[in-house]
């Protein structure tokens, strides 16, 4: 019900118990009648099943408004602690030296510290004019939504995630905006200069480790030590066999971050369903899900099924786009059919009086002609 076995849930509670007891139900104001441990369980269940607050509140037979307020307040209190324990502390422990000594480096490129990519989540169209709304529209997915950049080390846990960005922002722009983290995380620490480093651009970036990115980050190699598949130039010759082989080796290592996204989307409905809540709370919910996903990876390492789940998630976004486009097409077709029908009615209404008047005039002329004939005959 909460994605974790009882033993795993107890481990999470042991990690955060001191923080919760120190910061929950303190100060002035009305106190919660539920035990903190029970609220933690409710929160995990809400993150897993939350397509809407009604779904989660019904599971625990609570009214919607009190349940929503309680969970939001609890997440606000717990998010910094979980993110520190399972994300930031992991980044400090998992240095390149530690990963090398424990044999947990990337298979093909041991010189890479982590892999970075951006995940997209559909959201409601923002209220306001077109100029305000279009900044949330992703040209890749053809949907309104939010983007977050996540960096994953070879052990399969994330060591950083950014605040959300609008859907129209390019992935490479998000990377550059997160320059402070990347510069610090990629820098070689004392004692790591003795580690064998024969990877790409080792001569140019002697004091930095590398980072995996995808084809969409072309040009970033001038600012950071990146490892990325080669992109075929527009109208250029096809890639050579060696270039395709090198791209396959890179993709084999970089796929780890996509597997992480698959685990994240599979565990937490709040990160995979359409985001309909307040965007101001998105960062804390997403960070908490990242921290809990790190704990899940520590208990059960990433597998191929996680990557396949992320591919299904991406396919679902594509289907949503196709369904929306089909609905728009049918709407336009109905509008054209309705307009055509109205024009035909107006045309018929305009023709009918003209035909009636012409028939009346012809009947009148025939009547006058008959009277003339009879008069002449009588004379």
- Please tell me the predicted confidence (pLDDT) of residue 179: 96
CB 249 within 8 A of CB 106: no
> Is 208 found in the same domain as 62?
no
CB 110 within 8 A of CB 153: no
> Is 129 found in the same domain as 66?
no
pLDDT tens digits, 151-161: 999 999 999 99
The answer to whether residue 19 scores a pLDDT higher than 90 is yes
Instruction: Spell out the residues 6+ positions from residue 26 whose beta carbon is closer than 8 angstroms to its own.
Output: none
Distances (CA, A) of 246 to 21, 230, 232, 240, 249: 52, 8, 13, 10, 5
pTM value?
0.87
The answer to whether residue 217 scores a pLDDT higher than 70 is yes
The answer to whether residue 374 scores a pLDDT higher than 60 is no
- Please tell me the predicted confidence (pLDDT) of residue 51: 64
CA distance 72 to 30: 15
Rounded average pLDDT over 289-304? 95
Q: List the domain range (segments joined by +) for residue 114.
A: 94-267+303-326
Does residue 292 lie in a domain region?
no
Does residue 279 lie in a domain region?
no
Does residue 196 lie in a domain region?
yes
| Domain count within the chain | 2
Does residue 298 lie in a domain region?
no
Q: Which two tokens stand for residue 232?
A: 């075929």
Does residue 33 lie in a domain region?
yes
Does residue 286 lie in a domain region?
no
Q: Assign residue 204 a region (left: φ > 0; alpha: ψ between -120 and 50; beta: otherwise).
A: alpha
CB 119 within 8 A of CB 264: yes
Does residue 355 lie in a domain region?
no
> Is 231 found in the same domain as 112?
yes
Closest alpha carbon to 269 in 156, 121, 160, 375? 121
pLDDT tens digits, 46-60: 999 876 788 888 889
Q: Determine the 3-state secondary structure of 102 from DSSP.
A: coil
pLDDT confidence bin for 32, thresholds 50/70/90: confident
- Please tell me the predicted confidence (pLDDT) of residue 81: 96
Does residue 360 lie in a domain region?
no
> Is 102 found in the same domain as 154?
yes
CA distance 311 to 216: 18
């Amino acid at each position: 019900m909460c994605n974790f076995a009882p033993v795993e849930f107890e481990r999470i509670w042991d990690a955060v118990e001191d923080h919760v007891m120190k910061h929950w139900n303190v100060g002035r104001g009305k106190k919660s009648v539920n035990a903190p441990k029970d609220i933690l369980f409710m929160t995990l269940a809400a993150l897993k099943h939350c397509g809407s607050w009604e779904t989660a509140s019904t599971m625990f037979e609570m009214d919607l408004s009190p349940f929503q307020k309680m969970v939001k307040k609890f997440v606000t209190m717990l998010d910094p602690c979980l993110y520190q324990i399972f994300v930031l502390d992991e980044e400090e422990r998992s240095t390149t030296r530690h990963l090398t000594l424990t044999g947990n480096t990337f298979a093909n490129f041991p010189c890479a510290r982590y892999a970075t990519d951006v995940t997209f989540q559909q959201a409601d169209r923002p209220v306001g004019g077109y100029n305000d709304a279009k900044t949330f529209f992703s040209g890749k997915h053809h949907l309104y939504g939010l983007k977050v950049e996540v960096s994953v080390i070879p052990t399969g846990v994330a060591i950083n995630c950014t605040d959300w960005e609008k859907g129209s922002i390019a992935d490479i722009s998000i990377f550059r905006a997160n320059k402070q983290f990347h510069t610090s995380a990629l820098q070689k620490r004392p004692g790591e200069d003795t580690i064998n480093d024969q990877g790409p651009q080792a001569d140019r970036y002697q004091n930095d480790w590398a980072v995996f990115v995808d084809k969409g980050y072309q040009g970033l190699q001038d600012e950071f030590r990146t490892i990325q598949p080669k992109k075929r130039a527009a109208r250029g010759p096809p890639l050579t066999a060696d270039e395709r082989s090198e791209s396959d080796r890179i993709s084999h290592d970089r796929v780890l971050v996509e597997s992480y996204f698959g685990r994240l989307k599979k565990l937490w409905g709040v990160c995979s369903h359409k985001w309909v809540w307040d965007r101001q709370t998105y960062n804390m919910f997403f960070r908490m899900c990242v921290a809990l996903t790190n704990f899940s990876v520590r208990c059960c390492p990433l597998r191929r099924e996680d990557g396949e789940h992320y591919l299904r998630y991406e396919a679902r976004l594509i289907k949503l786009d196709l369904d929306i486009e089909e609905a728009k097409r049918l709407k336009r077709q109905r509008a054209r059919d309705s307009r055509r029908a109205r024009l035909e009615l107006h045309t018929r209404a305009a023709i009918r009086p003209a035909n009636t008047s012409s028939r009346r005039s012809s009947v009148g002329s025939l009547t006058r002609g008959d009277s003339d004939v009879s008069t002449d005959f009588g004379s």
